[in-house]
Amino acid sequence: MNAEFDKDQLTAEAVAAWAIAKKDMIIYYLKPNIIVSGLLFPLFMFLAFAAGKNVPLGYLIPGLISVTLLFSSSTIEPVSIPIERRTKTFERLLSAPVSLHAIVIGESLSGFLYSIGIALVPLIVGIIAFKTTIVFPLALIVGMLLTAIVFSTMGTLFAAYPTESPGDIMSMLNLVRLPLIFVSGTFIPLDAMPPLGAWIAYLSPLTYGNDLIQAAYGHTAFFFPLFDVVMLVVFFSIFQFVAHRLYAKYND
């Protein structure tokens, strides 16, 4: 009886999470600020750093995928949730018969799906235009999926801050996202960093996502791939837990 109840409850939570994600997909995916923050900003940043490197552009594709996943996955929730607070639709969502876990997962799922779609652009361009070779496809798939869900959950976590202005959350989020790029091996290899930078890199989830994606392209990995996977799962669990606690705190 309990097992059947738990199964029905889990199904209901999953349906609710998907409904939340689908709502965000319909309303927010094509908003100009989402497109700029999720696609154009990482592209221009990548081109700015690529201009000074004496390596083939194809060699930099893994880094572009990593940066694109970081920005695109953490962009939807910081925009959608403050807007819905302003229109009072978020309050109705909180009063619905679904758990906070379902809300957090649903909001994160919208950013996750968006980022995967956006990250396919540099992936396909790399294959067609630069003839990049994916040596370990499974590592690429796992790296992209885990990196996307980690940072979409991070975006949901930041969106827990009780404000009705997306700009407030984006400002705080960029204070975290921009430094992550420079300490995570996307533009500067980890073994070329000073000791302090290398230690800080251990605290960045992008370090492990980028390392796994780099390894998928046959580049030298800094960590063992299984360690990258474990660390990404750890960061996802931490972000989910903290996000749940923050939403519970701010919406009592």
pLDDT confidence of residue 106: 85
Q: Helices (DSSP H) in 29-99: which residue ranges?
A: 32-35, 41-50, 61-73, 76-86, 89-95
pLDDT band for position 19 (50/70/90)? confident
pLDDT confidence of residue 95: 75
Number of H helices, E strands in the chain: 12, 0
Q: Kindly tell me if the per-residue pLDDT of 2 is higher than 60.
A: no
- CA distances to 16, 101, 240, 249 from 10, rounded to whole Å, are 10, 11, 17, 24
Q: Kindly tell me if the per-residue pLDDT of 1 is higher than 50.
A: no
What's the pTM value of the predicted model, to 2 decimals?
0.88
pLDDT confidence of residue 96: 72
Q: Kindly tell me if the per-residue pLDDT of 202 is higher than 60.
A: yes
Q: Kindly tell me if the per-residue pLDDT of 56 is higher than 80.
A: no
Q: Kindly tell me if the per-residue pLDDT of 10 is higher than 50.
A: yes
pLDDT confidence of residue 97: 73
Task: Quote the distance between the C-alpha of residue 206 and its chain's center.
Answer: 9
